[in-house]
Structure formats: C-alpha cells, structure tokens
Structure 1
Amino acid sequence: MTTIPVIDLMGSLRSGNSTAPRLTWYGPDSERVELSGRVLDNWVAKTSNLLQDELDAEPGMRLRLALPAHWKAMVWALAGWQLGLETVLDGGPADFMATDNPGGAMDQYDAVIAVALPALAMRWPGDLPAGCLDYAAEVRSHGDVFMPHTDPDPSSPALTHQGRAVPHGELITGFACPHTEGVRLHVPADSGLESALANALGAWQQGGSVVMTHPAVALTDKLLADERIHGS
C-alpha cells in the first residue's frame, strides 16, 4: 500500500499515547472541545468514509474548505488528505465543498456539505438547499476505520501554498511549520485556516498538541496555565 505523510500521521495519533489531548478548541459561549489522538482519528476516519462511500470521492479530486479555522475544519482537511484529495482554500474550482454557509453556487460542485460548527449540533439548524448534505446528521453513521478503495498518489497536489502546489508526499516537509518536540501550541483561529493547518501538522508531527481559540475568546493567563501551553 502506498502511504502519504498524513496517513502515517493519523496512524501515530491513534497509537501510542492515543488518549492524550491532541486538539483542543475554545469557542464562543464557553464552548470547549478536547479531542484525543484516538477521537481525532475517529472523526477523520468517519469523514473520509463519508467522502468515499457516500460522495464517491477519489484521490486527485478537489475539496474546497469554505470554513473558518475551527476544529471541524481541521478534521475535514485531514480527511481529504487521507483520501488523497487536493484541499482548496482560496475559493478555486473543486468537486466538493464543505461550508458553514451553504447557499448559492450549488451547481458548481458535485456535492455541497453543510457543516454546523457548534460542537453539540446533531443536524443543521434550519432548512438546507435541495441536494445539500447535512454533515452533522450523516457523519456519525459512517465507519470508525478508513480503508481507501484506491491508494493516494504521493506526487499529486495536496494544496497550493504560497503559489506552489505542494504534493501529498511533501505535505509535512513543504507545508507544515517546524515546532519543537512535544509542543503544546496555541493556534489563534483569526490567523486563518491555512496557518492553523500548517502549525497543527508541525506540532502533531513532533508528538505535540494544539489549543485553538476562536477570536472571541480571550487568551488569559488562566487559560494558558490551565492548558499548559508552552514551546513553539
């Protein structure tokens, strides 16, 4: 089986100290979500299975993430990369779009997936355009283990970064930010999704973890101490 760095990374997150926090999210209205390596891998596997089994996604297809920096956006990016998709962050053409604001331009995509951002959302709050898939309502029914139907190509693009197409095989070396071993890294959501992904990949690659905060959340001394944020 051909592997790409994200597949190896997901394997490391679900093995070893898999119950340790890997992604912690602070959102509005005192929302706090903590995902261990095992739970993060579970969300990513379910999302990859949704893409592959329900939407017929295959390696080389393009997934637009019209989402803010958020823990669910991180799950979507990892799921797409695990499947061998190219993640589109700049609004370019794509086969699929995951968005927290579904509406017009539905006909530009093979499928549009509505992603409700509140952690406890069990379905989209309100009506959805015809043909739009409700992520919260659908994802939990998919399998906890992802087995690709087709091996991803390490030389195919994972995303475009600074005007350069970064292949899947170079996603860690050519996109992820370098960080120290075991880092507990603060990632502000207002730095944008691309920056959040680059920093999180670099932290996880070093066995570290990430604390992401919504722009409305104050980074207090208490939060820093409670989350043991350290390193770089």
Structure 2
Amino acid sequence: MNATDRTPADLLRTALADDPARPLVTFYDDATGERVELSVATFANWVAKTANLLQDDLGAEPGDRLALLLPAHWQSAVWLLACSSVGVLVDLSGDAARADLVVSGPDTLEAARACTGERVALALRPLGGRFPQPPEGFADYAVEVPGQGDRFTPYVPVDPEAPALALPDGTELSGAQVADRARADAGERGLTAGSRLLSALPFDSWAGLSAGLLAPLAAGGSVVLAPRLGLLDDAALGARRESERVTHTAV
C-alpha cells in the first residue's frame, strides 16, 4: 500500500512495479463456466490499450464524462482504470444522455443510444470475444482494442483533484478521493499484500467497485470477481473458496 498514489491509475502503476506476475483479477461467470485470470501485467496491458483507444480513437479528454453501463466484469474493471489513466470521469448513474461517451454491455444498448457522443459496445463473451454482428451505431470494443499500443502516456497530466467517479447517489469523487477511500476500505477489511477477496457485489455502487477492484488493488492483494456466485450450492462455494485461496469475502 503506497500512500503517495493519488489516483486509481497510480495504484495500478505501484502494483505493476511491485509484482507484475501476481494475479490481480480472476473473473467467474457461473452461468457459463467461464474463468479468466489476469496478472497485474496482463491487466495493465488491457488498461493501456483501452486508454489509448479512449484518447486517440475516441478523442476523450480530461474532464469528459463516460457513462459506464456494464455489469461487474473484468472488462468493466479495465475501463475504470483506463478512464483514470486519461482523466475521464466514470459515471455509474446510467444516464447516457448526460455523457460525452458511453460504454455499454449487450443488455443496455438501447439506454446507451441516448448518448450523442462516441459509443462503444462490449459483447462480454468468453475470452473477450466480439459481437457476431456489431450493434449499429457502436464501435465493437473487441474489434478496436487489440491493435492499440501496449504503453500509454496521457497527452495531458491527470489532475488527482479533478472529478473521477460519479456514483448513482449523486456523489462525485476526485481521483485522490477514490484512491484514499480504496486504501481506507482495504484497512477496514483487513486486506494486506497477498489477500484474496471474493466479491459477488455488482458494480453499481462504491461498495461494489471497492470490493471488486479498488480495495484489493490498494492493498497489494487480488480479487475473485464472481457476480453470479448465487448460482453455486454450498459445496461448490466451499470448493471455490479453497481452490482460489480466498481470504476475505464481500457478498
């Protein structure tokens, strides 16, 4: 845990410097059997590519508002850190009409059409697969992101005091406040380096974002993200905890 990190993107840079090979995000879709594990280095590579897509292809600038219409998913976590890298505010309110850009999953495309700016759609298929038929009016993330650069440098330095996250309850947090809250949550949960938190919380509140990414990241730990954990019986849940070496839970 590094108290000098001022933004979520800073937290990721510290994790990358400390131990790039360790697991950071493990994602389960218990409806399909999908399991994806991303090391810090692999996750950071996805973040860099997505930040380059944001900055170069989508023309996003610091202060722009991006409506994030995605469920708890490893790709949602990537977008959160990519926005932090560019200085784009992530809006979880679901109001695409107020946003400069929108990122949507397959179930929220109609709501996303209210955005008059750039629109990106994610199929959320296993292995980051693309849509069989790209939705009209949207760029397909799985098509656009692979060709982006593996390193990212913002054209304009990100201001840690600028708004970075808008929550559904109307609260807006700066990048510095997000990082501070993440460190505080990590302490309250007893997370330390090597902790592994199993989270089934949705990404529609601070609690979900914190448990599902930010607090484990701030602590030097990792997250097992399983939003459909309720599909498992007690025996399968116990086996999951054991196989993933879970030390903490948020359900």
Structure 2 length-normalised TM: 0.84
| Structure 2 CA distance for aligned equivalents of residues 231 and 78 of structure 1 | 23
User: More deviation in 107-116 or 26-35?
Assistant: 107-116
| Structure 1 CA distance for aligned equivalents of residues 174 and 202 of structure 2 | 26
Q: What are the ranges of 5 or more consecutive residues in structure 2 without an aligned counterpart? A: none
Per the alignment, residue 15 of structure 1 pairs with 17
Q: Of 130, 145, 164, which aligns to 2:171?
A: 164
CA contact (8 A) 1:26 1:212 kept: yes
Per the alignment, residue 246 of structure 2 pairs with 229
| Structure 2 CA distance for aligned equivalents of residues 228 and 113 of structure 1 | 35
CA contact (8 A) 2:28 2:35 kept: yes
- 1:139 positional shift: 0.4
Are the structure 2 counterparts of residues 138 and 220 from structure 1 closer, same or farther at C-alpha, using a change threshold of 3 Å? same
- 1:114 positional shift: 0.6
Q: Of 147, 152, 177, which aligns to 1:146?
A: 152
Matched, 1:35 2:38: yes
Q: Of 173, 177, 191, which aligns to 2:180?
A: 173
Q: Pick the structure with more helix per residue.
A: 2
Are the structure 2 counterparts of residues 226 and 192 from structure 1 closer, same or farther at C-alpha, using a change threshold of 3 Å? farther
Give % identity.
34
User: More deviation in 7-16 or 64-73?
Assistant: 7-16
- 1:54 positional shift: 0.1
- Considering only aligned residues, what root-mean-square deviation do their CA atoms show, in Å? 2.1
Per the alignment, residue 101 of structure 2 pairs with 96
Are the structure 2 counterparts of residues 165 and 15 from structure 1 closer, same or farther at C-alpha, using a change threshold of 3 Å? same
- 1:12 positional shift: 1.8
Are the structure 2 counterparts of residues 11 and 149 from structure 1 closer, same or farther at C-alpha, using a change threshold of 3 Å? same
Letter of the 1:26 partner, please give it. Answer: Y
- 1:26 positional shift: 0.6
> After superposition, where does 1:214-225 map in structure 2 within 5 Å?
214-215=227-228, 217-218=231-232, 220-225=237-242
Matched, 1:208 2:236: no
| Structure 2 CA distance for aligned equivalents of residues 174 and 14 of structure 1 | 20
| Structure 1 CA distance for aligned equivalents of residues 159 and 75 of structure 2 | 25
Per the alignment, residue 116 of structure 1 pairs with 123
Q: Of 175, 183, 187, which aligns to 2:199?
A: 187
| Structure 1 CA distance for aligned equivalents of residues 154 and 52 of structure 2 | 8
- 1:75 positional shift: 0.7
User: More deviation in 87-96 or 167-176?
Assistant: 167-176
CA contact (8 A) 1:95 1:111 kept: yes
Letter of the 1:225 partner, please give it. Answer: E
Q: What are the ranges of 5 or more consecutive residues in structure 1 without an aligned counterpart? A: none
- 1:109 positional shift: 2.9
What does the per-residue CA deviation read over 1:2-61, in whole Å, with 9 as the maximum and x for residues that have no partner? x84223212122222211111000113210000000001001110000000101101100
SS of residue paired to 2:210? helix
Letter of the 1:172 partner, please give it. Answer: A
Per the alignment, residue 46 of structure 1 pairs with 49
Are the structure 2 counterparts of residues 21 and 204 from structure 1 closer, same or farther at C-alpha, using a change threshold of 3 Å? same
SS of residue paired to 1:141? coil
Per the alignment, residue 136 of structure 1 pairs with 142
CA contact (8 A) 1:4 1:154 kept: yes
Matched, 1:79 2:86: no
What does the per-residue CA deviation read over 1:57-100, in whole Å, with 9 as the maximum and x for residues that have no partner? 01100111101111111111111111111110012311111001
SS of residue paired to 2:57? helix
